[in-house]
Structures are given as structure tokens and as C-alpha cells.
Structure 1
Amino acid sequence: MDYFQFEIKIMPLLKGYTVTSSKFAGGDFGDLERVELEGFGKLATVEFWSEGWTGFDIYDCTCDEQVMNILVSPEEGELISNVIEEFVGKLNGKAQ
């Protein structure tokens, strides 16, 4: 999964969120493309690293709690679809 795939496949499932993206060079796991989502009392980020790492984070402002924080290594790539399903579910208010 990369930023382009996320934008095409996942963003349509996340209606009502304000989305910003940014890029940074030379981070811990290579170059970074970050997607930030805000809405419905939640702040979320997805980080796509050029070395294959992908990070998912959700902070629920209404209960002042981090409800998801997962970093998937390149070797764990088969887990991405399950993590994305959990990420989308939490943002859309479905318990996971």
C-alpha cells in the first residue's frame, strides 16, 4: 500500500474528514508521505515510508485517548488489509 493506492481505495470510505497530506525526505525509514485526517472528534494519520513501513494512528479527542497506533514493517505486509479494515472501522465509528 502506498499513498496513491490509499487515496484511490480507502479515502472514498472515509466521508466527512478533512484531509491534508505532506511529504518529508530522509526520515527514520526513508522518505515519508503522510496523510492526516480530522473529523468527528478524531485525528488520524497514515504514514507511508519509502522503505516499506506503514504507520496508522488514531486519537479520539472526545475521550482523550489514542485508540490505534500500529507500525507495520515491510515483512508484515500481509497484515496491511486487516489493519486498514480496523483503521476505517474505528474512523467510521464501528468497534473493532
Structure 2
Amino acid sequence: MNDMINAGMLSVSSLLVSLVVLLVGLVLWFFVNRASSRTSEQIELLEALLEQQKRQNALLRRLCEANEPEVEKPAAPTVVQDDDDFVRLVAER
């Protein structure tokens, strides 16, 4: 009689351990799957942002090239001597 009770308890405890392991596995799977899907969404958003930035850079380049002033040839540099240079060399007290 004692053997039947122990055998029954063994199968119940085995079933209980299996259910706990299954429950823990399902919870872990849920969080890993959720993190994976959120990461995929973030990657898609970052790729869309990168594409928009590329378009903005191209538009900015075209705008800058259109508004670029014509470059004039620089005139010959003139040398002007100021008396202010001497003042800058005097040490302050």
C-alpha cells in the first residue's frame, strides 16, 4: 500500500516539475520574442531615418550649390602698416 502512495506522489511531483519547467520556458520565450520584435522595429525605424537624412543632405547640397556666390579673383594683396602694431608690442605694467 505504501508503494502505491509513493509511486503516485512520484508521478504527481514529476508532472508538477514538468509544468513548472514548461511555464518558465514559455515566459522566457515570450520575453525573448518580444525583445526580438522590438529590435526589428527599431532597426526599421533607423533605416527609414537614415534614408530621410540622405535625402535631406542631397537637397542641402543642391541648395548650397544653387546659392553659391560667384568667386571673384582676389586682388593683389596690399601691405598697410599701422602704428597700432607698435602699441601691441609694448608690455603692460
Q: TM-score over 0.5 for the alignment?
A: no
The structure, 1 or 2, with the larger RCO (C-alpha pairs under 8 Å, 6+ apart) is: 1
TM-score, with structure 1 as normaliser: 0.18
**Structure number with larger C-alpha Rg:** 2
Query: By percentage of residues, which structure has more strand?
Result: 1
Structure whose residues are more often helix by fraction: 2
